[in-house]
Amino acid sequence: MPYKPIDFFGIDELYHPEELLIRQSVRSFVDTEVIPIIEDSFEKADFHFDLIPKMAELGLFGITIPEEYGGIGANYTSYGLAMQELERGDSGIRSFASVQNSLVMYPINKYGSEEIKKRWLPKLAKGEAIGCFGLTEPDHGSNPGGMITNAVETADSYILNGAKMWITNGTIADIAVVWAKLNGEVCGFLVEKGMKGFTAPEMTGKHSLRASITSELVFQDVEIPKINKLNIKGLKGPLSCLTQARYGIAYGVIGAAMAVYDSALDYSLSRIQFGRPIAGFQLTQEKLVNMFTEISKAQLVAYRLGRLKDDDRATSHQVSFAKRNNVEIALNCCRIAREIHGANGIVNEYNVMRHAANLESVKTYEGTHEIHTLILGEHLTGIPAYQ
Amino acid sequence: MNILVCISRVPDTASRVIVGSDGKTIDPQGIKYIVNPYDEIALEEGLRLREKNGGTVTALTVGGESSKEQLRTALAMGVDSAVIVKTDSSFDSFFVANNISEYAKSINPDIILLGKQSVDFDSLQVPSILGELLGLPSVSVVTKLAIEGNTVTAEREIEGGKEVVETSLPCIISAQKGLNDPRYPKLPDIMKAKSKPIEEKDAVNSDERVTVMGIEIPLKKRAGIILGGEDKDIDEVVRLLHEESKVI
């Protein structure tokens, strides 16, 4: 059955023609390159490296980065729509693009010197270099300010020590944007593959995001040239990157939600019990309507947030709202879709269980659901509950 | 090679079509419009011919202002220039073919490519009328195309089989599914297409040769037959597929 995305409120009328074209191209790419291989890739935890040049050729790396650095120069709405389509394929594939765009190219473009930008951005855009982002540590997740990874300045370099965990693309990365304390203040450093003392072992045993590589980053007296330090101080550096990535997630998960909804609707119309399609039963209809309603609301939130970002007016609180809400409804859609698919919901003939398993990670990464609740709680009351 | 590809704006096949209040047109409310899928195949073939032989590809559409969206898609796919022959009134196949013909006379293309039909009204007339108006050979429903020098060899679908025909440039080729898999535009090309110019021409009017009296949605699909899993049910499925649907 062809994919039938939801657009109950005619939001497509609000998108610019080129935004819709970008969405359509990424949708076609996912149909031809991702969906045919993804169940196998997920099952075998085998990341398909050939997707990297294909994604690069389509223009999925550096979507909002200026053309002079090899980017596309498109707006944030286009970026959001591209993430939505990638995540219809798989959250792991979307994560790959999120990291490259929002967590690597964004900070290099925003906080890197001209020389660094020219050296790395075109390669990252072409997929000739892969990036990763090291903030989370084994003992510091929701509280990144407590990080123990640290840098010490010497006459002509910085010496980095510490470890990062849960790092998407770490093992295959050519460049890592690593956050470490220098004189007690969080600073960003570019650590290059092959630098002495830097290793990135892969983490295995995941039941989620299996089509994506997750790694540890270990730094033992890694010597980093001065030019590789980013021009930003304090937690606002990494948090600004996370705001970019979280925005992409708020859009992205709608793709996963629409994928499982689409499958559930098709299934409910073709699955016959008691002599008629289960779509005809009231309990099933309520489930479908609940998914459809939440997806439509999430679309409106994402659309508005995208436009605010395009105007440079979106706040990190609004991004927290959208990430928190949209990931939760997407995960709920997976659970409801699984119920509609009955026993078939657990097998890999359908996409439901894979999306459900992926979204369990998405609910926790990039600011846990709980932390986003507290960010909004502080916004409402003025009282920070996490300190 | 001077290549002209004609495209049209049609409702997305996934859209639910509702008949307008006049009973003769489609209610555009809530309909998404796309490049006619067969025209996309024609565009792809035009781009491949250019990649092989050099030259230029011009995309042409006959329609209202909103048809420019489809020309943007063609530009993003990689055509060199885009032309809209503008009309605000409703039109029939002759009107479209006549306007394509007028434009084609101004650029003398080596080949004109278009979809075998538009998936809105499915008249399948434009390629043949165009052949007559321009006095050019017109080969329809083409699934394979080879051009060597001036010689054109085309494989076309016919009832229950295929036919191979030979003709020569200049000619008109209408594309059928299977001719190629159309490319999807890359993001940088989509951005570049945004600022490319679209040439505008006024349509040449002609009397309507075919008037739509009314359109209606087909009646609800036939009720399905539900069979069990016994051997006799399987035999019945095979019999129905063979005798009723005639697909095996």
| pLDDT averages per 10-residue partition of chain A, 387 residues | 91 95 97 97 96 98 97 98 98 97 97 97 98 96 94 96 97 98 97 97 97 97 97 96 97 98 97 96 98 98 98 97 98 98 97 98 96 97 92
Q: Please, which residues 174-213 of chain B have a Cβ atom closer than 8 Å to chain A?
A: 184-188, 190-191, 193-194
Per the CB < 8 Å rule, is B188 touching A272?
no
Chain A CB within 8 Å of residue B226 CB: yes
Chain B contact set for A58 (CB, 8 A): 184, 186-187
Chain B CB within 8 Å of residue A55 CB: no
- Tell me the HSE value of A213 on the side-chain side, using a 13 A CA sphere: 21
Q: How does pLDDT run across A267-296, given as a tens digit for each residue?
A: 999 999 999 999 999 999 999 999 999 999
Chain A CB within 8 Å of residue B30 CB: yes
The CATH number of the structural domain formed by B2-202 is 3.40.50.620
Q: Is the ipTM of this complex over 0.90?
A: yes
**Residue B222: what pLDDT?**
64
Q: Which DSSP category does B152 fall into?
A: E
Nearest-neighbour CA in chain A from B150: distance (Å) = 35
Q: What is the pTM of this model?
A: 0.91
Chain B CB within 8 Å of residue A73 CB: yes
- Tell me the HSE value of B97 on the side-chain side, using a 13 A CA sphere: 26
Q: At what angle do helices A17-29 and A51-58 cross, to 10 degrees?
A: 160
| Cα diameter, chain A | 80
Q: How does pLDDT run across A152-201, given as a tens digit for each residue?
A: 999 999 999 999 999 999 999 999 999 999 999 999 999 999 999 999 99
Per the CB < 8 Å rule, is B190 touching A21?
yes
Angle at B32 between CA B29 and CA B34, to 5 degrees: 145
Q: Which of A2, A21, A22 has its CB closest to that of B14?
A: A2
Domains contained in chain A, CATH given = 11-125 (1.10.540.10), 131-233 (2.40.110.10), 237-381 (1.20.140.10)
Helices (H), chain A: 17-29, 35-43, 51-58, 76-89, 91-98, 106-111, 114-126, 236-270, 282-310, 316-340, 352-364, 369-381
Per the CB < 8 Å rule, is B184 touching A25?
yes
Q: Which of B14, B185, B226 has its CB closest to that of A21?
A: B185
Asked if B66 and B33 touch (Cβ cutoff 8 Å), the reply is yes
Q: Please, which residues 272-311 of chain A have a Cβ atom closer than 8 Å to chain B?
A: 272, 275
SS3 content of chain B, % helix, strand, coil (to 5): 30, 30, 40
Active site residue ranges of A? 366
> Could you give the 3-state DSSP secondary structure of residue A199?
strand
Q: Which of B32, B73, B187 has its CB closest to that of A63?
A: B187
| β-bridge mates for residue A137, sequence order | A140
**Residue A147: what pLDDT?**
96
Chain B CB within 8 Å of residue A60 CB: yes
Determine phi and psi for A222, rounding to 5 degrees.
-80, 125
The series of mean pLDDT values per 10 residues for chain B, 248 residues long, is: 96 85 86 94 97 96 94 96 92 92 96 93 90 96 95 93 95 96 96 94 89 84 76 88 79
**Residue B123: what pLDDT?**
86
Chain A contact set for B194 (CB, 8 A): 18
- Report the Cα–Cα distance between both ends of chain B, in Å, rounded: 44
Residues in chain B: 248
